[in-house]
Amino acid sequence: MKIVQKSIKFLTVLAIALCSFHGFASDSDKKNNDQNDGGIIDTKKEVEEYILHHIQDSHDFNLFSYTNDAGERKHFGFPLPVIVSTSGGIKTFMSSEFHHNDDGTYVVTKGNVKLVKLHGKIYEIEAGDEVEFVDHHPTNAHKVLDFSITKSVMGVLLVGLLLLWWFSSLARQYKKRQVPTGFGRVLEPLVIYVRDEIARPNIGEKHYRRFTGYLMTVFFFIWILNLLGLTPLGFNVTGQLAVTACLAIFTLVIYTASGNKHYWGHILWMPGVPILIRPVLAIIELAGALVIKPFSLLVRLFANISAGHIVVMSLIAIMFTLKQSLGVVGATGLSLVLSFFITLIEVLVAFLQAYIFTMLSALFIGMSVEEAHH
């Protein structure tokens, strides 16, 4: 047990240490390279735009940036594969092939197709045309079907492979011995916790084994992604609405398909109430089961994780926005102290949000498979 506690403490301290390396660099989708300040973001408006851009998905990794002696902004990172369906068919290339235009867009030409990247979105325009804007939105371009390997997709694949490796190793150890060794000692109490404290009490002794695998997958998937979101890698997978919506839909499909006669009877024709009221209650119960429950799952996870990133980065931005009034040393010290304590809370939130999503999923599934009481 001491080994497990030390391992958890080590992972927590590591996540906090990595968080302290967050920094403000130039936004790769903005026209900053031609500015005299080398693209450094130091105004309130620029900071706000950068934070909002940071929590969005991206077609490349920008780990850090620096300004060279010539005043040019240099970015250190690596591109990711771009896969889009256009009027000219499927186009594949690396995101590094986009070249910067004076209007703030990134353009690449593939055959007879011209693709433009603006604010992280890829559009298609006619070859030879220039992008026309109205309120910063392109008017002569249309979106393409984007199947690219973005940062969020990379995060999902990375965590999926890690979970497959960890739990396959743990399962192989159980075939040889009753007590796992190595990293398996860290995983075992967490697995037991999800089984005995989340799945069993919320679903019941008769049915909990059917759904424990899913609940464990969701718990560890969300938790590890939340922790990765606190590192300089720039992951914000669980802060993407599409990801949390998919997780909520999985839970929706499971408890809807697993619902027994008792469950659907109480939803569609509530016993014990006047007949005239039953159709009204049926509409309310259907809306709750098919809309409100999954919506609450996806919004809670998305909002809490996104808000956490925004708060941490806003506190770090204090050193840029208050450096004139407090001085560089005072603003930096205040920023680091506040962001450190908020990051401590974010480590707890990373676990808490994984627990809440898993617990609510188990509760909804338990309601659908609960047997009638006589």
Q: Which residue has the tokens 């302290």?
A: 20
Write the CA distances from 7 to 10, 65, 94, 178, 185, integer angstroms.
Answer: 5, 33, 38, 20, 9
Q: Which of 184, 185, 209 is nearest to 195 (CA)?
A: 209
Q: Which two tokens stand for residue 269?
A: 């024709």
In terms of Cα–Cα distance, which of 141, 103, 101, 97 is closest to 122?
141
Comparing 373 with 367, which gets the higher pLDDT? 367
Q: What values do phi and psi take at 55, rounded to 5? A: -80, -5
Compute the average pLDDT of residues 119-124.
82
Q: Encode pLDDT of 316-353 as tens digits.
A: 777 766 665 666 666 677 777 777 888 888 899 999 99
Q: Are 37 and 253 in contact (CB under 8 A)?
A: no
Look at the block and give the residue holding tokens 């204090």.
318
Structure tokens at 145: 């079907």
pLDDT in tens, 229-248: 888 777 789 999 999 999 99
Q: What angle do CA 360, 363, 364 make, to 5 degrees?
A: 90
Give the domain ranges of the chain.
81-148, 152-369
pLDDT digit string, tens, across residues 197-225: 999 999 999 999 999 999 999 999 999 99
Query: Which segment of 10-19, 43-52, 61-70, 95-104 scores lowest on mean pLDDT?
Result: 10-19
Q: What is the pTM of this model?
A: 0.81
Per the CB < 8 A criterion, the answer to whether 20 and 343 are in contact is: yes
Tokens matching residue 299: 């919004």
Instruction: Provide the 10 A C-beta neighbour count for residue 372.
Output: 11
pLDDT at residue 130 tops 80 = no
